[in-house]
Amino acid sequence: MILVIGGAGYIGSHMVKQLINAGHHVLVLDNLSTGFCELARHGHLVVGDLADTALLERLFRENAFDAVMHFAACSLVGESVADPAKYYRNNVSNTLNLLDVMVRHDVHHFIFSSTAATFGEPEYTPIDESHPQKPINPYGASKLMVERALQDYATAYGLNSVSLRYFNACGADPEGELGECHDPETHLIPLILQAASGRRESITVFGRDYPTEDGTCIRDYIHIEDLCAAHALALEALVSGKVSGAAAYNLGNGNGFSVQQVIDAAKSLVAEEGRGIHVEEGERRAGDPAVLVADAKRAKNELGWTPQYADLPTILKHAWEWEKHLAKLS
């Protein structure tokens, strides 16, 4: 059985579906602070928090978990700067609660949802695993603290882990069951598509004077299905003993798309249905690097991971079908 923390959220819910389809039994623990019951349609949902150590002890006592996947975290950069205590408490302290219970119950396989924010301002691109980790906000710092704790837990307690550093997760379940529904929404692709569906008046481009071909920021977008596939491969590697200690992998497609490229591709997609996207101009946002692109060769070579949905039109098509579903409900 696999315990999925945060399995009612965007990434976690897609992961649970993949695990169930692969024949795993899954228990989901989510406090529903940002997750949704409707997304937790696969697996068994327990509503609870990692701060509740008594609950964790009961779950581990009553279930024979083979591994734990941890997706639950506060993840808004701006909020982390304004309220760092929330981030260190939830992302670090609560994760340590989980790790300690795992150690007490001899569960030694852990997959951690980390982030490219642990690297901070890029010193070079594409960013590989050897890139210095110098986070510039409490969100990135909190994730890096857990990565470092995992190294020590591996040495001291034999807890084997894989930390997967995401770049820009995007897209939706190709079957239309699941997708992004953050509140508030901060990700570029759903924001653009909300402007197309009418749930938002416009999309704002923050800066057109970056040192890129069209002047807008470039990001590495990775389809949610490919992201989850990497987690499944990491699970196999841990359980088989192929990977041990505290391993870490960057996850991205290895090539980026600019904000303008994403907008143009989205305009082409929704134009087929007679829709348009109103674009407004804004000033640069502090701390936005011009280019963030992953070097994911290690994940490909060591885990055998190959992204299946790396092209922008497919990513947008799946996300657009999900957005139209949400628009009908609103």
Which residues are known catalytic residues? 139
Contact 303, 287 (CB under 8 A): no
Q: How many CA atoms lie within 13 A of 291 on its CB side?
A: 17
Which residues 6+ apart lie within 8 Å of 301 measured at CB? Answer: none
What is the distance between the terminal CA atoms of the chain, rounded to a whole angstrom? 36
Q: Give the Cα separation of 113 and 169 in Å (integer).
A: 12
* Cα–Cα nearest to 57, from 29, 20, 23: 29
User: What angle do helix axes 94-104 and 138-157 make, rounded to 10 degrees?
Assistant: 10
Residue with tokens 């602070």: 33
Nearest to 298 by CA among 238, 252, 244: 252
- Give rounded-to-5 percent helix, strand, coil for the chain: 40, 20, 40
Beta strands in the chain (DSSP E): 2-5, 26-30, 44-47, 67-70, 109-115, 160-166, 168-170, 203-206, 218-219, 221-223, 246-251, 257-258, 279-282, 291-292
Contact present, 246 and 151 (Cβ < 8 Å)? yes
- Is cis: bond before 126, omega within 30 of 0? yes
Q: Is 185 exposed, middle or buried (0-12, 13-18, 19+ CB in 10 A)?
A: middle
